[in-house]
Structure 1
Amino acid sequence: MTARSTSGRAPQGAPATEERDEGRSRAVNSALRYAYNTNGLTSHRLSDALPFLADTGYAGVALTLDVVHLDPFAPDALAQAEKTRARCDELGLGVVVETGARYLLDPRAKHEPTLVTADAEGRARRLAYLRLACDLAEVLGAEAVSFWTGVPRPGVDRDAAWGWVVDGVRALVDSSGGRGFALAVEPEPGMLVEDCDGWARLAADAPGITLALDTGHCVVAGGYEPQEAVAAFAPHLGTVAVEGMRRGVHDHLPLDEGDVDLPAVLRALREVGYDRLVTLELSRDGHRAHEMVPRAIATLREAEQA
């Protein structure tokens, strides 16, 4: 599970060539289910965004809990979640809960506090938020809750930070594991867990988590090509994201831009029998969501045929 590959060679743990060929013939007609992340719909009301996605052909929504869409700290958050679930059920949309809102916990510090914040109170606030997100996910009928570890700030000892992450993740698994959704840790470039091998180390220290694989991050962090990561970590995938991304640059781009081989990624997902939502995150394109939402699904359908 921790093997590395920086070339076109299949990483250790991937199916053999013959098995891949057999898998391709079995899975070539398997339909993937796509979802769009609401952090790319921040100029839309959630009540408008959901039917927009359904009408455009998406099978789900990646719901980023935030001040604009289902604020988890609103007094009526649980009631909002119940209403949202009813609407998603009506529209036939599955749900993944995303927890990476920029300023939800601190209006003056992006993504802070985290599980690697030096201040114990800050780490406790992050953990409490993740537990709340899990409560909302249960109401929403979500298939996964995705979260990341955080960026160690200057002066933070990385060994100490690792211990904080392990403790936090274990506590979350203890309180929210086994509730019908996957607890999925997402490697993020620059964070303490920034690649798939880092996730594997964390999974060994904190059993009960799955992998939230952002395939675009693979071309930034290295180690595996995106399609290689799908094959190598297939049994552990809790949720998967796709987008365009340039090698070594952590900018989320439209699917038809950048260095990700999208047809290869989708083919790999079909070959391993992945049946959860495949989400798309274009958080910097909310101002043109009316163009990007249909453009993205069209690009995905075209890539499926490549």
Structure 2
Amino acid sequence: MTELRYAYNTNGLTSHRLSDALSFLADTGYAGVALTLDVVHLDPFADDAFTQAERVRARCDELGLGVVVETGARFLLDPRAKHEPTFVSASAEGRARRLAYLRLACDLAGVLGAEAVSFWAGVPKPGVDRDEAWGWFADGVRALVDSHGGRSYALAVEPEPGMLVEDCDGWARLAAEAPGTTLALDTGHCVVAGAYAPEEAVARFAPSLGTVAVEGMRRGVHDHLPLDEGDVDLPAVLRALREASYDRLVTLELSRDGHRAHEMVPRAMATLREAERA
């Protein structure tokens, strides 16, 4: 069976310089980094963002780290509104800003040699018709595929509980209407929303996986927990990934634990290795 490759998301390393975080991950046995473009690590709107990306690419090459680009920074586009604007914002200007940002993220992903760019739909605000919001999202995804599809990285849509696309079936509907994307499967989200257990989602959607995330999560509660907590059967998830011959990075997101990353980074790796043996 396939040997799995693990990465850690930089949104859980926000108290570390990016250069220090990369060395820390490599020294702890990770094969990659899930780089959340943000004001802390590689601000995509910085004047020298592409120069920074070239340096990060060189450092990752030295350390043997693969890269996934994550685009879910909380206040990158609006310092006063979390995750706004999105593809389902009522404002056409806001939707255009989200598309421009994702295109920029894709350009940076090319410089970084990333294997995937992950993004999500967003949450429709009260008063927004969900059918209309679906049309906006599908249009935005088609526009992104038209400009940046078919490149060296996968365009991966992540279902998020509470968002317009919140489960794997929602992604499948989108994929039928806006071809050219893959599934960014967060296995923890499966115990919060959707019809599939995490390991079932891996098996069912294996041919469409662009990137996969793991973490602990309690049934019905969207709260990212350490891998050894919650209701996800981690050994079953890892076994399903190996049986599916999944060879892309498996990422871990603990965005609320940056203050204790010195503990969580090695703890997560130890938990993953134990789950593999199980």
Please indicate the TM-score interval, normalised by the length of the shorter structure: over 0.9
Partner residue in 2 for 1:17: none
1:304 CA drift (Å): 0.3
Partner residue in 2 for 1:177: 149
1:132 CA drift (Å): 0.1
**C-alpha distance in 2, partners of 1:285/1:166?**
33
Which residue identity does 2:141 align to in structure 1? V
1:114 CA drift (Å): 0.3
The answer to whether 1:168 aligns with 2:129 is no
Query: Of residues 73, 94, 97 in structure 1, which corresponds to 2:45?
Result: 73
CA contact 2:215–2:252 (8 Å) conserved in 1 = yes
Which residue identity does 1:107 align to in structure 2? P
Large movers: runs of 4+ above 6 Å: none
**C-alpha distance in 1, partners of 2:164/2:57?**
33
Which residue identity does 2:267 align to in structure 1? R
Partner residue in 2 for 1:46: 18
1:179 CA drift (Å): 1.3
**C-alpha distance in 2, partners of 1:127/1:220?**
28
Partner SS state of residue 183, structure 1: strand
**C-alpha distance in 2, partners of 1:110/1:244?**
23
Query: Of residues 62, 79, 93 in structure 2, which corresponds to 1:90?
Result: 62
Partner residue in 1 for 2:270: 298
Partner residue in 2 for 1:243: 215
Partner residue in 2 for 1:260: 232
Q: Matches of residues 192-211 of structure 1 in structure 2 within 5 Å?
A: 192-211=164-183
**C-alpha distance in 2, partners of 1:209/1:47?**
31
Which residue identity does 1:286 align to in structure 2? G
**C-alpha distance in 2, partners of 1:159/1:289?**
41
1:178 CA drift (Å): 1.1
**C-alpha distance in 2, partners of 1:78/1:177?**
20
CA deviation vs aligned residue, 1:157-215 (integer Å, no higher than 9, x gap) = 00100000010000000000011000000000000000000000000000000000000
Which residue identity does 1:195 align to in structure 2? D
Partner residue in 2 for 1:129: 101
**C-alpha distance in 2, partners of 1:49/1:142?**
17
CA contact 2:168–2:194 (8 Å) conserved in 1 = no
Q: CA RMSD in A?
A: 0.4
The answer to whether 1:273 aligns with 2:245 is yes
Partner SS state of residue 192, structure 2: helix
Partner residue in 2 for 1:216: 188
**C-alpha distance in 1, partners of 2:202/2:64?**
26
Which residue identity does 2:25 align to in structure 1? L
1:222 CA drift (Å): 2.8
Partner SS state of residue 53, structure 1: helix
Unaligned stretches of 5+ residues in structure 2? none
Partner SS state of residue 221, structure 1: coil
**C-alpha distance in 2, partners of 1:274/1:169?**
25
1:286 CA drift (Å): 0.1
Partner residue in 1 for 2:71: 99
Partner SS state of residue 235, structure 2: helix
Query: Of residues 80, 99, 108 in structure 2, which corresponds to 1:108?
Result: 80
CA contact 2:29–2:269 (8 Å) conserved in 1 = yes
Which residue identity does 2:13 align to in structure 1? L
**C-alpha distance in 2, partners of 1:119/1:110?**
16
CA deviation vs aligned residue, 1:98-117 (integer Å, no higher than 9, x gap) = 00000000000000000000
TM-score by length of 2: 1.00
1:249 CA drift (Å): 0.1
Unaligned stretches of 5+ residues in structure 1? 1-26
The answer to whether 1:233 aligns with 2:233 is no
Partner SS state of residue 213, structure 2: strand
CA deviation vs aligned residue, 1:125-166 (integer Å, no higher than 9, x gap) = 000000000000000000000000000000000010000001
CA deviation vs aligned residue, 1:206-247 (integer Å, no higher than 9, x gap) = 000000000000000031000000000000000000000000
Choose 1 or 2 for highest CA Rg.
1
Q: Matches of residues 2-21 of structure 1 in structure 2 within 5 Å?
A: none
CA contact 2:187–2:214 (8 Å) conserved in 1 = yes
The answer to whether 1:59 aligns with 2:31 is yes
**C-alpha distance in 2, partners of 1:101/1:243?**
18
**C-alpha distance in 2, partners of 1:110/1:145?**
20
TM-score by length of 1: 0.91
Aligned length: 278
